[in-house]
Amino acid sequence: MERYRLIEQLGVGGMSVVWRAHDEVLGRPVAVKQLAAAADPRSHRRIQAEARAAARLSHPHIAAVFDFGHTAGGAPFVVMELVEGESLEERMIRSGGPLQVTEALRIAAQLGSALAAVHARGLVHHDVKPANVMLTTDGAKLVDFGISAIAGDDTDQLLGTPAYLAPERIRGIPPSAATDVYALGVVLYRMLAGALPWPGTTTEELLHAHRKLAPAPLPAPVSAALPEGVADALRRCLAKAPGNRPSAADLATVFTTLPATRRIAVRPGSAARLLHDITLGGSVKRRGTVAAAAVLVLGLGAAGAAAQDRDPVAAWTPASTPASTPAGPQTVTDPTSPPTGPATHAVSAPAADPAGGAAAGGPGGGPGGPGGPKDGKGKGKSKKSGG
């Protein structure tokens, strides 16, 4: 690790520490993600394979991976592109409400293109969320592959950020490309509505919503401004069954070939349910620069797997909707037949801090953006890559 001079810590998670560093050989700033020394040699081999796979990704909307090695103490580390800019999470918090439709669709198209490249390599990002999207002068960049998965690799850990976690993951089904598409759908919904598609402020409430509740309708002014086809694409992204979701490549095509949208002004705060992400452990220092942790795939599944989540879905509507529809979520009883795929992994995480803090101690805590960032609730310092 002599080649890389560590300058300052950017993020800390249950599994890694990310540093701003300087490459003494090439003379450039980089991000160094140092993972805990794994006792199992197989873990070391897997991490190296994941780093190699991620390093082969070359895409204008994906942060790059430069190097891999081990410290003197045997801990694996990955050297990544250091991305300067503002995260999408910070952008949405700063706006105080929804983004303009044209901006939201442009970002979604770029993310769809990035994910299509990821999936074509047999990888799954597995933690797509606003805090893992950097907005630069060249467009959006997907960062932090810190808990991503190589297709076909398997693990017992349930990883990801609850607000963006696909229903099948909660049931213990391995992740696939459709897992990322679902998360992208949640991100797009939040960009358009200024809120998550469901109510909930704790991990348990959000996991229940993913499995049981249909997304709330978009605000009427936003729906009126959407080009034809967007609402349907968004609905399909948020399908409970992974096999019913479109591919990332299809989404990128849809969002880049849309007719011009009408620019509308949505009053900040009009979508009052701006819910900050709840992450499973870790903390982050935010300072305006985000280290792009673009690697390390904790393998969880075959890309393209389309296991069906057979849970019935209940609809919910915000209190501002007509009284003819229920004003709150309706729960339904789980079906008696067991789900297909592996047994469901139990999720045991304490209720989240009302201010948006991490649900410490949850499974797979740590990597979820800047080492388990609080997605916009960082303490004045803005850094993000983590793990």
Residue 314 domain flag: no
| Single residue among 255, 283, 311 that ends a domain in this structure | 283
Q: Average pLDDT, stretch 319-345?
A: 37
Residue 237 lies inside a defined structural domain of this protein: yes
Residue 122 in tokens = 């047999």
148: exposed, middle or buried (C-beta count within 10 Å: 0-12, 13-18, 19+)?
A: buried
pLDDT tens track for 249-273: 999 999 987 665 444 343 433 333 3
Residues 32 and 120 in one domain: no
The verdict on 38 and 117 lying in the same domain is no
Residue with tokens 């198209």: 109
Please identify every residue annotated as catalytic. 127
Which of 274, 268, 318 minimizes the C-alpha distance to 100? 268
Residue 226 lies in a domain: yes
Q: Is 211's pLDDT higher than 70?
A: yes
Do 132 and 73 share a structural domain?
A: no
| Same domain (yes/no): 110, 245 | yes
**Phi then psi dihedrals of residue 70, to 5 deg:** -130, 145
Alpha-helical regions (H) of 36-121: 41-55, 88-95, 101-120
343/171 Cα distance (integer angstroms)? 7
State residue 361 phi and psi, 5-degree precision: 90, 0
Note whether 210 and 110 are same-domain residues. yes
Q: What is the pLDDT of residue 47?
A: 74
CA distance 117 to 59: 7
Tokens of 361: 């101690």
- The binding site comprises 33
- Residue 114 covered by a domain: yes
Token pair in block for residue 231: 């609402």
Which residue blocks in the chain are alpha helix, DSSP H?
41-55, 88-95, 101-120, 167-170, 177-193, 203-212, 220-225, 230-237, 248-256
Are 35 and 136 part of one and the same domain?
no
Q: Which residues contact residue 158 at a Cβ distance below 8 angstroms, ignoring those fewer than 6 apart?
A: 169, 170, 172, 345, 347, 363, 364
The pair of three-digit structure tokens given for residue 183, joined into one six-digit string: 């998360």
Q: For the residues 19-35, what does the mean pLDDT come to? A: 94
- The average pLDDT across 360-364 equals 32
DSSP string, 238-256: T-SSGGGSPPHHHHHHHHH
Mean pLDDT (whole number) for 51-73: 88
At 233 the three-state DSSP class reads: helix
Least confident range of 41-45, 150-154, 164-168, 276-280: 276-280
**Residues 77 and 133 grouped into a single domain:** no
Residue at a domain's end among 283, 299, 326: 283
Residue 289 lies in a domain: no
Output the pLDDT for position 160.
Answer: 63
| Cα–Cα distance, 96 to 352 (Å, whole number) | 22
The radius of gyration computed from the CA coordinates of the chain, to the nearest angstrom, equals 20
Least confident of 42-51, 57-66, 152-161, 343-352: 343-352
* DSSP states along 256-284: HSPPPPPP--PPTTSS---PPP--SS-EE
Cα 240 from Cα 141, distance rounded (Å)? 27
Residues 159, 270: one domain?
A: yes
**55 has a pLDDT exceeding 50:** yes
How many other C-beta atoms lie within 10 A of the C-beta of residue 156?
A: 11
Within-domain flag for 229: yes
* 194 in a structural domain: yes
Q: How many domains does the chain have?
A: 2
Same-domain pairing of 232 and 121 = yes
Same domain, 215 and 200: yes
Of 49, 82, 115, which residue sits at a domain end? 82
Give me the domain span that covers residue 179.
Answer: 86-283
Q: What CATH code is carried by the domain that includes residue 35?
A: 3.30.200.20
- What local confidence, expressed as pLDDT, does residue 32 receive? 92
The four Cα atoms 259, 260, 265, 268 give a dihedral, to 10 degrees, of 60
Determine, yes or no, domain membership for 296. no
pLDDT digits (tens, 9 = 90+) for 187-198: 999 999 999 999
Alpha carbon distance 145, 300 (integer Å): 13
Q: How much is the mean pLDDT over the chain?
A: 71
Mean pLDDT calculated for residue range 219-224: 92
Rounded CA-CA distance 53/243 in Å is 25
**Residue 95 maps to which CATH number?**
1.10.510.10
Q: Are residues 133 and 211 in the same domain?
A: yes
List the binding residues for ATP: 33
Same domain (yes/no): 108, 55: no
